[in-house]
Amino acid sequence: MKTYRILSLITLCAAAVSCGDKWLDLEPSTRVPSETSVQLVSEAVFALNSVYNTMQDPYAYSGRLVYYADVTADDMIAVSSTKRTGNYYRFNFSRDNAPSTHWYYLYNMIANCNIVLSKIDGLPTQDDAEKKLRDNVKGEALCLRALAYFDLLRIYSYPYTKDNGASFGVPLVIDELPDIERKPERSTVAKCYEQIISDLTSGINLIGDTFQKGHLNKWGALALLSRVYLYKNDNVSAFKAAEDAIKGAEAAGYALWTNEEYPTAWSDDSSANKPGEVLFEIINLTTDSPGKEALGYLSGTGYKDYCVTASFYNLLASDSKDVRNKIFKVSSKIAYVNKYQPQEGEVVQDANIPLIRLSEVYLNAAEAAVKNRDNANAVKYLDPIVKRANPDKTVAGEDITLDRVLLERRKELVGEGHRLYDLMRNNLRVERVDETAPSKVSSIPKHYAKDLSFDWSFYKIVLPIPKAEMDANPSLAGQQNPGY
């Protein structure tokens, strides 16, 4: 099959990855289908599936794109400096050797989405069912492109809240045609947010609202929209999107896991009959396994690559009735996060990867409500998360502060790739507290790590634009992230 020639920036970046440091770079598995191969809706479905296939890679959402924001912050730590996560934890990367896979995989997703979106409107349909399928494919492609751009911004650009989006975002490529001569500049963060929100709102009007295993649907997309608005500090819109997502998802059968379900629900094989609380996840299977670089194998019993800090362990353990203590798996006095549990009959590296959970959407709603000075709704959406963790606890009757919501968010979402971004977008500090746990877990020595305390003025809170990209694209001259 003829493969698509993608943008210069992506092609050259791909060519360069094979000569980088081993820990940094591996080539993605997916090839984009030929331009001429998308002539039927069924072929657009095939092209869309290649986006999900790219996402499944352990250097994408089955691993690195998720753990990056955990091991660069305060609650998780590489077990030693030589572990896979060690260079991230230590910020041991430079302009010339920083990982390029984050960039490569996300632009690969975008290129595939652009191909689908360039063809989809003109594709013939036989009946209403096929027209509905076509709309759904278009909606999914728009929302997945938004997800990819949003994650590029989270990794390569300063928070919107730092300067109202005035600083460098990423190159915005939204039309289909790969133009080998095109050398896009970085757009501003504000311009990128505009595109992301436009894609999501258009996509949400087209995407299906029923459970479709492993696919983004309307409720997952609305949840993502609430996250995007929260990062943009548009809290009225964030609250509305979160509330729409919660109401819609719950009417469609999704529900927060109960206290009893919580410790093991991560291994549930969700279905239309029992969708659970995961609104969007990467499906890994024994027959389609991401291998041992995936989160299940890295965070738990496999490579034992990264774990929680003693201070985070103590934070949760201070309430022994908090059910979230049960997501620790302690081995040789090290506490791993055991959220990536394999489905029945699988080994641990085949664990699915939840990317958007209903719990996060409750916390998005609560945070937006606090920022809107709407205490009633802050209580309304925070309380179910607090009570689910420990049925004896409640925040009813309290004045909810931002700190209170973020404390709960920290406890709830540990290990799911949020922490660095949650602190930075709120202009808070990463404080790596050196603390020894009293009995069950040891502290991991932190002396190998630099920069134990930092805020958004630390230049390494973003990665540098990959060297190969800078070298290939003269329009990016002078547009590297400051400090690199």
Residues that bind Ca ion (CB under 5 A): 284, 343, 350, 352
Q: What tokens appear for 238 in the block?
A: 């964030």
Q: Taking CB positions, which residue lies at the least distance from Ca ion?
A: 343
Cβ atoms 469, 17 nearer than 8 A: no
Q: Quick one: 171 or 296, whose CB is closer to Ca ion?
A: 296
Please tell me the distance from the alpha carbon of residue 188 to that of residue 181, in angstroms, as a whole number.
22
Residue with smaller CB distance to Ca ion, 58 or 165: 58
CB of 296 to Ca ion, least distance (A): 8
CB of 280 to Ca ion, least distance (A): 15
Cβ 365 to Ca ion shortest distance, Å: 29
Nearer Cβ to Ca ion (87/284): 284
**CB 63 to Ca ion: min, Å:** 14
CA 252 vs. chain centroid, Å, equals 24
Q: Which of 202, 199, 52, 172 minimizes the C-alpha distance to 112?
A: 52
Q: Which is nearer to Ca ion, 40 or 347 (CB)?
A: 347
Q: Which of 441, 403, 401 is nearest to 423 (CA)?
A: 403
Residue 345 CB, nearest distance to Ca ion (Å)?
9
- How far is CA 125 from each of CA 108, 122, 254, rounded to the nearest angstrom? 28, 9, 31
If the CB atoms of residues 352 and 364 are measured against Ca ion, the closer one turns out to be 352
Smallest gap from residue 177 Cβ to Ca ion (A): 36
State whether residue 425 is helix, strand or coil. Answer: helix
**DSSP assignment letter at 279:** E
DSSP 8-state symbol, 253 = T
Query: In terms of CB distance, is 107 or 257 closer to Ca ion?
Result: 257
Nearer to Ca ion, 109 or 295 (CB): 295
Nearest CA-CA partner of 469 in 19, 8, 113, 22: 8
Nearest one of 25, 33, 24, 29 to 5, comparing CA atoms: 33
How many alpha carbons fall within 13 Å on the CB side of residue 116? 31
CB neighbours of residue 127 within 10 Å: 8
* The two three-digit tokens of residue 283, written as one number: 């499906």
Nearer to Ca ion, 311 or 349 (CB): 349
Least distance to Ca ion, CB of residue 338, Å: 15
Residue with tokens 């290129």: 111
Give the residue with the Cβ less far from Ca ion, 270 or 352. 352
Tokens of 28: 């993605």
Q: φ, ψ for residue 185 (rounded to 5)?
A: -85, 170
Nearer to Ca ion, 167 or 270 (CB): 270
327 or 348: whose CB is closer to Ca ion?
Answer: 348
Distances, alpha carbon 12 to alpha carbons 103, 396, 440, 465, 475, in Å = 12, 55, 49, 13, 15
Residue 68 burial class via C-beta count within 10 angstroms: exposed 0-12, middle 13-18, buried 19 and up: buried
The nearest distance, CB 189 to Ca ion, in angstroms, is: 35
Q: Residue 159: helix, strand or coil by DSSP?
A: coil
Place of tokens 């002539």: 39
CB-CB contact of 11 with 111 (8 Å): no
Shortest Cβ 406–Ca ion spacing (Å):
31
- In whole angstroms, what is the distance from residue 280 CA to residue 208 CA? 13
Shortest approach of Ca ion to residue 261 CB, angstroms? 18
Closest approach of Cβ 289 to Ca ion, in Å? 8
